[in-house]
Amino acid sequence: MKKNIPVAVQMYSLREESEKDFAGTLKKVAELGFDGVEFAGYGGLSVKAVKTLLDDLGLHAAASHVPLEHLENNLSQVIEEMKILNSKYVVCPYLMPDRRSEQDYQALISMLNQTGEACQREGITLCYHNHDFELARLSDGRMALSAILDDTNIDHVKAEFDIYWLTKAGEKPVEWINRYKNRTPIIHLKDMTTDEEQFFAELGTGGVDLDAVLNTGGEAGVKWWVVEQDMSRRTPLESIEISINYLKSKLPNLYE
């Protein structure tokens, strides 16, 4: 029996631990039962050294978050790194505040199309990761996130929906996953406190409808679940342990 969809952790969640001991942090991730990791940098190590670590620990490179500037200026290097890691997904993770005008979004759509096509030729899939600011409306009435996905080539640009930020913006994540069915190979699993602060929460401790998302994943074509907790009131390792244990309790329902 095996899980339909493997589970990774976004290493940004463990950024402080990684700065102190990148290899040791990866080892702890493996010990907790994660299948892979989603990178946000490589801890100052060479990509080949990182791949050796992954192989030694039995982990897979689910994806890498790569800053927009690197995608724009160093794409050939990024693609080569993905190949070394045997990673099929590269993710545009964030837009700086000075790149969120309507004109900026139009330029982004063009860039994503071109970059996604170049990635696809090399066997890599480009994904776009959302926060809540992309849920603002444009002059045509569409949300920016809708425009990004509707106006890019469905074969060249995919989504990495972050269910915390969708929920925080008043949206239902499962509706977005269903709307863009088979275009969401990676989903960021997060929970959110039910108080006014709406703080980041360990999976199963907040108010996000995680069951609906988990039960939709297989039908929607999700290839990786990625646990991320931007900030925590526990230690990051305690947080991701709570979250992976929650998923272990839920994932038997998704076994085949």
Chain segment 17-44, per-residue pLDDT in tens: 999 999 999 999 999 999 999 999 999 9
- pLDDT confidence band for 9 (50 / 70 / 90): very high
Residue 47 scores a pLDDT above 80: yes
pLDDT tens figures, 197-208: 999 999 999 999
Instruction: Evaluate if residue 254 carries a pLDDT over 50.
Output: no
**What is the structure's pLDDT at 250?**
87
User: Considering the chain, what is the average pLDDT of its residues?
Assistant: 95
pLDDT at residue 71, rounded to an integer? 97
* Per-residue pLDDT, 255: 42
Give the residue ranges of DSSP H helices in 14-124. 15-20, 22-32, 47-57, 68-73, 75-85, 102-121
pLDDT average, residue stretch 218-223: 94
Scan for tokens 């039910």, then name that residue. 194
Provide the b/e sequence for 28-44 (b: ≥16 CB within 10 Å). bbbebebbbbbbbbbbe
pLDDT at 256: 43
pTM of the shown model: 0.95
Q: What is the pLDDT of residue 202?
A: 98
d(CA 113, CA 190): 28
